Structures are given as structure tokens and as C-alpha cells.
Amino acid sequence: MTSLNLKLSCSLAVLGSLYMRLYFFWLRFTQTQGQTQRARTQPQRAQERQGARKLEELPQVILFITFYCKVCTHHYSSHSDKNERILQEYGYCVMDNHRERIGNFRIEPPGLFRGRGDHPKMGKLKRRIRPEDIIINCSKDSVHPKAPPGTRWKEVRHDNKVTWLVSWTENIQGSIKYIMLNPSSRIKGEKDWQKYETARRLKKIVERIRAQYREDWRSKEMRIRQRAVALYFIDKLALRAGNEKDEGETADTVGCCSLRVEHIRLHPQLDGQDYVVELDFPGKDSIRYYNKVSVEKRVFKNLQLFLENKQAKDDLFDRLNTSILNKHLQELMDGLTAKVFRTYNASITLQQQLKELTSSDDNIPEKILSYNRANRAVAVLCNHQRAPPKTFEKSMHNLQTKIDEKKKQLSAAKKELKAAKADAKTLRDEKSKKAVETKKKAVQRISEQLMKLEVQATDREENKQIALGTSKLNYLDPRISVAWCKKLGVPIEKIYNKTQREKFAWAIDMTDEDFEF
């Protein structure tokens, strides 16, 4: 059960107890009043007796509520204790003599398969995972969990070249599922650091790579031209490379290398711009990617050449796939992939946007709004979209109501300040001067509260269809955010929540305010 339910039950128990005390206090009070006021009429006494009979039922209700709340509190607290015992038994492991937290160690129960996006196998039944399906990976001298009585694990292996602890094969797609260490673990932190350091290495040679693919646009070989144009799209638009997929096995989603003729339209002129490419295709998780972008003339001419004599379902880059592209990227730089380009472009965009949007004179809410706008620019670049929350309109209405109420409070506070100033001018005493100072502080406090609410409303409206979390956790070097916080005096808690701070503890500890990506 959730901690909210536990708190609610505790609150109800306290309220029930409070009602009991108030009732008995009222009884004592009425008895005292009865002793001092004996001279009452017969109808008055009859009316009081009728009221007393009604009140006799009240303690029973209160006792029931109090008892029920105490039972609920005991149930939730015992449930919480059970979860804590399970966490302590199965939620940790020892790696290299360090106690590390394991990620999600609970296996999914059987149910209907959802899949990502418009998946063709949606609705199929996921069968129950049994001990005979499970592979345990641990060191030879470790004590691994025992299988339930009457069962055994599929295998217990000792592979120190991988980081997963448990694996099994699911029945829908035949893919292998893993249980791994928590994102806050040391080995995950090292991998994150290496990922962002690879992107920083790309920064040093990116101009040389760009010069090379521009030169390749004029190559006599069609495969080299296609590779160069695809790399231009990955660099400029932060497109995913796109993997080859078995038809009917996964949703029809595409990336750069798997674009088809039907996904692209060319406009020599559009909306006052020359050489416009219109891209419209289902990206990862079947999220629509739609963009109109002006490209260089040589890219436009090459795209016209690639489209010649092709049907709508034909591949745009028919002489290119992700294997060929990644092999070429490895030749350009060790460890370079299309995802490194996305990480580089996302991080460098965040750093540039923060410099442009943030002022040291801004207050904390305005700085946070600037950060979210910079993060939003990255999310738009990476096409991190979401459907508007179902409660969006209601929450915005409630927020606007708070803003309107705060404006009324501010108007009333200003009138009170004006009246206090008039009294101080007339009376010229110490008391009236203090009243003016008090009213000034009240106006300032309400003004700050109103400003925070208005910033919150602006931020919420702008983020209605943008998912900021994906880029923040996976593509943005956290050292950029930490350095920005330290330089401008923004609490790190305003940018990263507790779980995210644990994940990026390595960045928080090692970064100073002068860090540059």
C-alpha cells in the first residue's frame, strides 16, 4: 500500500480520538450547565432529552471509525514491514566487496502484452515465469538465492563479463529480459560517465566529420552519397539510426536508415525558405516525427536523385543500413555511434540554451523556468513527445483560480498599504510607521507568491505535450546542469529529484561551476 494511504489512516485515527475527547468535554460542560440552570420549562426538558438520545448514538460511530482506522494503520504498517524485509533479502547484492542496490527484482505476473506503440502482437497472453525459466548469474563463491521448494533454476552461471544478475526469455517475442543493478550503483555511474565522455570526444572532431560528409555529397559512388546524407540528418536533426526489423514481429517504426519514399517530400520553396525537406514518419514507440527543415542545396539535389524511379514503399537509402553506417562511424572515432551524435547534440544544445536564456539577476523560479525551456529545446530536437495528461485542463483551471485569488489578495494588500501610508503621514508616530513596514512586507510576499504561480502556469502550459524526463535522464550530461546550479545558486533539488540525485551522484560530487561540456 502507498504511504499516502498510511498517512490518511493515521490522520483518521487521530481525528476519531479527537472527536471522542470533544464529545466527553461537551458532556461535562452540559452537565455543569444543567446544575446551574434548574429553572426550565417542561418543553425545554423534553427537547433536551430528545437531543441527548441522538447524541448517545454518536460515540458508537466515533468508536467504530477509530477502531477501523487503527486496524487499517496496523495493516498498512505490517504490509510496509513485509516489503522492507523482502527488499533487504532480495534487493541488494555484493559486487567487488561493495553492497549495491539491485534494480527492479520483481518479475512481472502473467497478463496481456501491450508492447510499444502500435504493436502487432498487442493483446497476446504473457505466461507466468517459473523458476525453471530463470538463469542466475553470480560468482562461484557466492551464496545465490534458493529456488522455491520442489523447483530448481534453469541454470546458475558465473559470467563476469556481463553486468546482469538474472535473465529469462519471454514468450511473446522471444526476447531476453534482465534484472540488473540499480541506476545509482557504481558500475552504472561509470557507464554513464563513459557515455558522456565519448560525446565530449566527439565535440573535438565533429567539425572534421562534418567537412568529410560534405565532401562525400559529391562522391561518384551512390552508397557514399547516401551514407553522407544520412549522417547529415543524424547530425542536424538528431534522428535515430533505425534498425532492421522482421515484418509482423514489431510495430512499423522507422529511423534514418530505414526511411521510405512515402516518408519524405521535397519543396524547392516553402514558407519563404529554399530547399525544404518535409519528414513525416512513425518514430520510436510509434510517436509521429513531423518536421519541415531547410537543408543545403547539395543535400536537396542528392535527395532528388535518391527518389528517382522509386515507389512509395521503396527505401530512400537503398544502399545503406545501420551496420554499414555504424562501421563507418567506428572508423571515424572509436566508440562512435548514431546515439553518440544524439547525446552530443542534446548536451551541447542544453549548454548553449542555458547561456542564452539565463540571467544571474533572475530569481530562483525564473531560473528554473529558463532551465525547463532549455530542456524543452532538447526534447523537441530529440522528438520526445507525450500525450497531454487527462487532468491537464482541470489542473490548469485550478491553477488559474489560485492566480485570480492571489491577484485579489494583492489588490487588497496594496489598498491597505496605501491607507497605512496615509495614516502614517497624518499621525507621524512610531506605531503607524511599523504598520506601513508590515503592509509593505505583505505586498512583497503576495507579489512573490503570485509570480511563482504565474511562472508555474507558463511552465505547465509549455510542457503540455513535451516529455522532459527522457532527455534529462539519458541524453543530457548531468555535469552541465550541476555546474549551472552551482554557478547561479539554484538548489540541485529543484532540477533533480531524490532518485535522479542518487543516479547522478558521481556528477554532483565531481563537478564545479566552471565545467564546460
CA distance 336 to 328: 9
User: Which has the closest alpha carbon to 343: 191, 235, 231?
Assistant: 235
CA distance 66 to 72: 10
Pull the grid cell for residue 109: 505476473
CA distance 467 to 494: 17
What is the DSSP code (8-state) at residue 315?
B
Which residue type does 418 have?
Answer: K
User: Which has the closest alpha carbon to 375: 463, 499, 253?
Assistant: 463
Measured in degrees and rounded to the nearest 5, phi and psi for residue 17 equal -65, -40
User: Residue-wise over 465-480: b if at least 16 C-beta within 10 A, else e?
Assistant: ebbbebbbbebbbbbb
273-282 and 288-294 strand pairing: antiparallel
User: Residue-wise over 284-317: b if at least 16 C-beta within 10 A, else e?
Assistant: beebebeeeebbeebbbebbeebeeeeeeeebbb
DSSP string, 45-87: HHHHHHHHHHHHHHHHHHHHHHHHHHHHHHHHHHHHHHHHHHH
135-137 and 155-157 strand pairing: parallel
Which is the catalytic residue, given 232, 275, 289, 475?
Answer: 475
Residue 496 annotated in active site: no
Spell out the residues 6+ positions from residue 216 whose beta carbon is closer than 8 angstroms to its own: 224, 225, 227, 228
User: Which has the closest alpha carbon to 110: 122, 127, 123?
Assistant: 127
Measured in degrees and rounded to the nearest 5, phi and psi for residue 153 equal -70, 155
CA distance 231 to 157: 41
User: Which has the closest alpha carbon to 482: 465, 469, 498, 494?
Assistant: 494
Torsion of CA 190, 193, 198, 204, to 10 degrees: -140
- Catalytically annotated residues: 475
